[in-house]
Amino acid sequence: MSYGEALVALSDPTRRAIVEALRDEPQPVGVLAGRFPISRPAISQHLRVLSDAGLVAADRAGTRRIYRLSPEGIGALRRYLDTLWDDALQAYAREAHALTEGDPDA
Amino acid sequence: MSYGEALVALSDPTRRAIVEALRDEPQPVGVLAGRFPISRPAISQHLRVLSDAGLVAADRAGTRRIYRLSPEGIGALRRYLDTLWDDALQAYAREAHALTEGDPDA
DNA sequence: CTGGAATGTAAGCCCTGACTTACGGTAAGT
DNA sequence: ACTTACCGTAAGTCAGGGCTTACATTCCAG
């Protein structure tokens, strides 16, 4: 049950933008920082949060660290939402049934 | 593209707990507030955020408001994560391919 | 129509977290 | 070995959001 960290990580718009940037291709921190109006350390801190949530991962290439999307955290979040989706549909179905049938409890 | 609001809404642990409580069955605000160690107005504020994100919806029953899960926001978030999942798998496949083949670019 | 129950809203406090600058550490180049 | 590039970490600042109390609103009961 680690989807909580992933949700916190993706709640920040800057971190979502970082994820969006990594959708195209893996990128080192410096290049990534160049795409945003904030400092490089701030990007590093965001990458730390995203990494802890299992949403991104880094591959070392000399002194550089190439970050890429990681299926780990994304998959966990996806599985959680799938079950939540099922429950939401059941609630919706009961609602529709109650309205058409006029049956308040069963 | 309203999954941003949903992510912000679900980033709070109390709001996630409210969603979990609503998975069992729709509940009025008062009953819902009884399950948490915070005040009732705080619950109302959380429900407001969840409602704006399309994660929950309310049905009026007299002076009560019965809240339930709503497929709207959950579905939007699910669709976004599906596409992100695909891109993450592609990145992972390229990574594995590069390692086994030793081909750094193509 | 008056009383009370159930809920949303307003104003204010306080703490978490996002950002900055400064610094430390590691790897490549000469 | 020295320098330079690239990156993570530490400490401090400041705005945003979650919580509370107080108030406004709506609906049913009598």
**Cβ-nearest to A81 among B13, B59, B74:** B74
Question: In sequence order, what are the beta bridge partners of A67?
Answer: A27, A58
pLDDT at A105: 38
User: A65: exposed, middle or buried (C-beta count within 10 Å: 0-12, 13-18, 19+)?
Assistant: middle
pLDDT band at B91 (very low <50, low <70, confident <90, very high): confident
Q: Which residue in A has a C-alpha nearest to residue B59's C-alpha?
A: A95
pLDDT band at B100 (very low <50, low <70, confident <90, very high): low
Q: Is strand C less than 7 A from the beta carbon of B14?
A: no
Q: Write out the CATH class of domain B3-100.
A: mainly alpha
Q: Where in chain A are the domains?
A: 3-100
Instruction: Determine the Cα–Cα distance for residues A50 and A56; give it in Å rounded to an integer.
Output: 6
Better-predicted residue by pLDDT, A88 or A105: A88
Backbone angles phi, psi at B39, to 5 degrees: -70, 160
- Using alpha carbons only, give the angle B34, B38, B43 rounded to the nearest 5 degrees: 75
Query: Which has the closest alpha carbon to A23: B7, B78, B85?
Result: B85
- Per-residue pLDDT tens over the stretch A32-80: 999 999 999 999 999 999 999 999 999 999 999 999 999 999 999 999 9
Q: How many Cα atoms sit within 13 Å of B82 on the Cβ side? A: 8
Q: How many Cα atoms sit within 13 Å of A105 on the Cβ side? A: 0
B72, B52 contact by CB (below 8 A): no
CA of B101 to C1' of D11 (A): 46
Provide the H-helix boundaries in B13-61: 13-24, 29-34, 40-52
